[in-house]
């Protein structure tokens, strides 16, 4: 078991809770994402409890790197944030679950065993939203014909829009006209049944069309 959190008091409290079980051995602690990746590579823990917001590499990036370096290690987010953008970004990065820091001890202990057994672990406060997202994805896959889905170019436009670029800047990035960008955005709005860029980006995040990293200006 590896604990990742930039607050020592949080790590200490979580360790004390987990070690109430004689079957859980906390083999290491990390205070940021980079350290977490290195410890996961060397210690090969069965389960990692991962914070989201940390200095250096955040929990999202660290989760992705750990899943690539140690595929057998199950990562479970343990966060104070219950925002959809964090929940879905962590799950998209390969986390096996998402718990909130106000979870009681028995839930944390049970989550370790469940994650190690290959089960998805979700805090009751976020489970409904995740279930709804899965249902939305299945509905889209089942009922939307391929030609009604976003094209590769429309996805590019949406990702640039998610970064906050203007139509003019998107046109320059993709070497197309501003008018063409406007047409692509109109098609995106129609296909996603939304009326604005913000709604399109939020829909894209929920549906897994775009990731949280693609909303960053540096993406």
Question: In this structure, are 42 and 86 located in the same domain?
Answer: yes
Three-state DSSP class for 125?
helix
Q: What is the mean pLDDT of the chain?
A: 86
What domain range includes position 194? 139-215
- The count of domains in the chain is 2
Question: In this structure, are 101 and 185 located in the same domain?
Answer: no
pTM: 0.64
Q: Give the DSSP letter string of 47-104.
A: EEEE-SS-SSS-HHHHHHHHHHH-TT-EEEEEES---HHHHHHHHHTT-SEEEETT--
Question: In this structure, are 98 and 205 located in the same domain?
Answer: no
Question: In this structure, are 123 and 144 located in the same domain?
Answer: no
Answer with the one of 130, 165, 190 that is the final residue of a domain: 130
Burial class of 96 by CB neighbour count within 10 A (0 to 12, 13 to 18, 19+): buried
Question: In this structure, are 185 and 167 located in the same domain?
Answer: yes
pLDDT at 147: 39
Tens of pLDDT, residue by residue over 63-90, are 999 998 998 999 999 999 988 888 888 9
Over residues 206-218, mean pLDDT: 68
Domain of 75: which CATH number? 3.40.50.2300
Strand 74-79 vs strand 47-50: parallel, antiparallel, or unpaired? parallel
pLDDT at 215: 64
Question: In this structure, are 120 and 143 located in the same domain?
Answer: no
Helix axes 167-174, 152-162, angle to 10 degrees: 130
Would you place residue 163 in the very low, low, confident or very high pLDDT band (cuts 50, 70, 90)? confident
Mean pLDDT is highest, among 46-50, 102-106, 197-201, for: 46-50
Residue whose tokens read 């809770």: 17
Tens of pLDDT, residue by residue over 169-206, are 999 999 999 999 999 998 888 888 888 888 888 888 87
Answer with the one of 104, 130, 156 that is the final residue of a domain: 130
Sign of the dihedral through C-alpha 173, 86, 96, 30: positive
* Contacts for 185 with CB less than 8 Å, ≥ 6 apart: 157, 161, 167, 197, 200
């Amino acid at each position: 078991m590896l604990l990742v959190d930039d607050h020592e008091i949080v790590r200490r409290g979580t360790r004390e809770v987990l070690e109430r079980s004689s079957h859980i051995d906390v083999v290491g602690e990390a205070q940021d994402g980079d350290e977490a990746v290195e410890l996961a590579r060397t210690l090969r823990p069965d389960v990692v409890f991962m914070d989201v917001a940390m200095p250096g590499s955040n929990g999202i990036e660290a989760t992705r790197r750990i899943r690539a370096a140690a595929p057998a290690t199950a990562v479970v987010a343990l966060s104070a944030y219950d925002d959809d953008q964090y929940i879905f970004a962590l799950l998209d990065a390969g986390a096996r679950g998402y718990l909130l820091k106000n979870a009681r001890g028995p839930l944390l202990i049970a989550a370790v065993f469940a994650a190690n057994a290959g089960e998805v672990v979700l805090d009751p406060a976020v489970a409904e939203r995740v279930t709804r997202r899965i249902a939305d994805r299945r509905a889209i896959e089942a009922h939307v014909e391929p030609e009604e889905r976003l094209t590769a170019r429309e996805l590019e436009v949406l990702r640039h829009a998610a970064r906050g670029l203007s139509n003019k800047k998107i046109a320059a990035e993709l070497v197309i006209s501003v008018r063409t960008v406007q047409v692509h955005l109109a098609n995106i709005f129609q296909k996603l049944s939304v009326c604005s860029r913000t709604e399109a980006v939020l829909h894209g995040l929920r549906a897994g069309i775009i990731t949280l990293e693609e909303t960053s200006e540096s993406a």
